[in-house]
Amino acid sequence: RRIPQMLNQWRIGNRAISAWEPEIVPIGDMRDSVLALIGFGRIARAVATRAQAFGMRCLAYAPTVSEWEVRSYGVRQVPLDEAFGAADVVSVHLPLTPGTHHFVSTDLLALMKSSAVLINVARGELVDEDALVQAVEGGQIRGAVLDVYRGELEGQPPRRELVELPHILLSPHISARGADLREERK
């Protein structure tokens, strides 16, 4: 929803909608957009259910899940290149293994539409951050939303390029945090 750009307008004093709206390029509607889920475990299945409620069409790259199981969620199973090439939003839901380190690479980012957004809520090391920065800076993709980043599990801050790029939205690994989770840990 272009929240970082809107907040920047608010910070410089453009608080009325008529003041900041002309400065913000709209991103369009979610209806009829395509969400590609990379991995199709418990969280990706929950995301698919919610995305479909907003009218999104869902694809999944899920080589370890049967086609009938993916289809039972109203999702179409596709090859990896089709998932990245057809999506308006790519959401990564893979476990981190030696085989998935830097899974989202220069080659996969090159398949994405220039209007597409990458979301990573799984593990930071799944995305090659150098390739992501280049893709966003070069306008190869519209942007990224990262709830995880390289080194965050060791308490390292995100790279400065990730923080400073206006088309990357970062959150501090809070996508699964909620009051119910806090209560559960007490």
Secondary structure letter of residue 127 according to DSSP: B
What is the rounded (10 degree) CA torsion for 131, 137, 139, 143? 80
Is 173 a catalytic site residue?
yes
Burial of 136 (0-12, 13-18, 19+ CB in 10 A): buried
Q: How far is CA 14 from CA 20, 77, 129, in A?
A: 5, 44, 33
Question: At 67, which helix (H) or strand (E)?
Answer: helix 67-71
Is 152 a catalytic site residue?
yes
- From the list 125, 142, 152, 159, the catalytic residue is 152
CB atoms within 10 A of CB 77: 20
- From the list 76, 102, 167, 173, the catalytic residue is 173
- From the list 45, 93, 123, 142, the catalytic residue is 123
Question: What is the C-alpha to C-alpha distance for residues 158 and 143, in angstroms, rounded to an integer?
Answer: 16
Question: What is the C-alpha to C-alpha distance for residues 172 and 155, in angstroms, rounded to an integer?
Answer: 10
The token pair that represents 106 in the structure block? 């220069």
Instruction: Report strand pairing: 76-77 vs 143-146.
Output: unpaired
**Catalytic residues, which ones?**
123, 152, 173
